[in-house]
Amino acid sequence: MSPPAIFLSASIPRADRAERYFKTADPLAITAATKALVTVTLGRRLLVWGGHPSITPMIWAAAEDMRIDYGAWVHLFQSKLFQDDFPVENARFRNVTYVDPVGNDEEKSVEAMRLCMLAQNRFAFTAGAFIGGMEGIEKEFDLFKRHYPNAPALPVASTGGAALLLFQTRSGLPADLATSIDYVGLFHRLLAVSPLEKRLPGALPAAP
C-alpha cells in the first residue's frame, strides 16, 4: 500500500496563453502558496505533481532550504514530448516518471501524462491542492475528482487564475480558500497535517 500523498496542480499563467487566467492571477500568491504547501507536507506526505517549468525549481529550492530528501518525498511526472525544455531541476529528483508522448500531439501527450499520474491508482491521495494556473489546472481538478471522489480537492482561489474560476463554479468549498493568505495555516487545516507531526528528512516510512 502506498504512503499518504498530496497532489499538487499549479502554474503561473502567461499573458500570451490565456488572458482570462492571467488577468486574475497573482504570481506572488502562487509562489507563496506553493512554498507553503511544500513547507506543510514535505517530510510528512509524498508530494506528487506534473512537471511545470515555473513550479519544479520552486519545489527544489524549498526542499533544499528545509534539508529534506526531495528524492524520497516527491514524485514528478513529465511528458517526454517536452524533453528539450525540461528544467535542470528534473535531474535532481530521483522519483521522476517520464511518459511517452502521443506522436507530436501536445494535448494528447499531456493528457496521457495526467492519466498516468491520476487514473492508475498509483498513489494514496488524501487531498489535492490547485494553485493559480490555466486550463490544465481545471482539467487536473476534474480528473482528480473523478478518480479520488473522497479526497478533498482544494482550489486556492486567492491565487487567482484557474483556481479562482474553479472556486467560483463549485459549491461547498471552504470559504478561507478565497479569503486566507496565511497559506501555511490554511494547508495545515485543510490537509489535516498537524504542525506537531514529526517531519522525516530522509526516506519515506514503510507502507503498512
Domain count, the chain: 1
Q: In what helix (H) or strand (E) does residue 168 lie, and over which residues does it extend?
A: helix 161-169
- Give this prediction's pTM: 0.90
In angstroms, the CA 12 to CA 7 distance is: 17
Please give the Cα distance from 160 to 174 (Å, whole number): 16
CATH of the domain at 40: 3.40.50.450
* Residue ranges making up the domain that contains 150: 4-190
Give every CB contact of residue 74 below 8 A, 6+ residues apart in sequence.
Answer: 42, 46, 47, 48, 49, 59, 63, 93, 95
- What average pLDDT does the structure give for the chain? 87
Are 135 and 116 contacting, i.e. CB atoms less than 8 angstroms apart? no
Residue 201 has pLDDT above 80, yes or no: no
Q: What is the pLDDT of residues 3-55, one digit of tens each?
A: 799 999 999 988 877 788 999 999 999 999 999 999 999 999 999 998 777 77
171-179: average pLDDT: 95
Quick check: is 201 in a domain?
Answer: no
Identify whether 156 is part of a domain. Answer: yes
Q: Residues 189-199: pLDDT tens digits? A: 999 999 999 98
